[in-house]
Amino acid sequence: MSDPIWRHPGAARSPGVIGRLLADGRTVVMGVLNITPDSFSDGGRFLDPETAVAHGRRLVAEGADMLDIGAESTRPYGGAVRISREEEWERLRPVLPAVVDLGVPVSIDTMKAAVAARALAIGAAVVNDVWGLQRDPDMARVVAEHGAAVIIMHNREAEDGAIDIMADIEAYFARSLEIAARAGIAQEQIVLDPGIGFGKTPAQSITVIARLARLQGFGLPVLIGLSRKRFIASVVPSEPHQRLGGSIAANLLATLAGATFVRVHDVAETVQALRVMAAIRTAR
């Protein structure tokens, strides 16, 4: 994988938003802003536009380097209600411009190309696609035409505890990267996300975190989104709001294994943990 054949020949060499976020070598902390009624951890808390923007402002003040805003739940454990692109946009429309104005890059968490296009047009810089460019056939084109960055996440329709999950992730990423290359998305604009909890058993999610270093072979930044997820409860029974300790422990181990982005609900606590770890490693 050291010389990826999927690199687009016309790919830009400028750093773009991803390069700028990674420029100082720190782990990038992405704050989660869900304006949904049914997200697994904080559904319904930020439906009011003023409350949502205030929460985004709080996350930035706590140290978030970027914000990830989503208006349709993609909860990986079932029960999420699919909504139309019109309804998704109506949730985003009164919130997104003010969130963009908070001064950090914003990613739009959507699986719909039409929603992504509208969000990018008013200032979002990144598309976070939980189906890795493989669900909506227009998504790669929209990302390329806007010169946006994209987070390609691994996903599966259903869990299968018998498969080699790392091999499945690698094959999935290879397909997504071919789609990205054909659309003209620059390599420098791509981040990979192994999709903790999505189409994976708790044991497989733990395996992915433990073997995360394998994904460095793609030569691309890796994002880990494990905050408050079910695999933590498989180790220590707990509800989502009780999983801060497990989330921090797993995020620290993931960064040591090569993750350069962490997507989290608890920004202040995560930033503190990352800074303390960095200080100790530097002293060592």
Residues noted as catalytic: 229, 263
Q: Please answer whether residues 49 and 71 qualify as being in contact, where contact means their C-beta atoms are separated by less than 8 angstroms.
A: no
How many other CB atoms sit within 10 Å of the CB of residue 225?
27
The encoded tokens of residue 205 equal 């999610």
DSSP secondary structure string for all residues of 170-212: HHHHHHHHHHHHHHT--GGGEEEE--TTTT--HHHHHHHHHTG
Task: Name the β-bridge partners of 29.
Answer: 262
Side-by-side strand order, sheet with 28-34: 190-193, 149-153, 126-129, 106-109, 66-70, 28-34, 261-264, 223-224
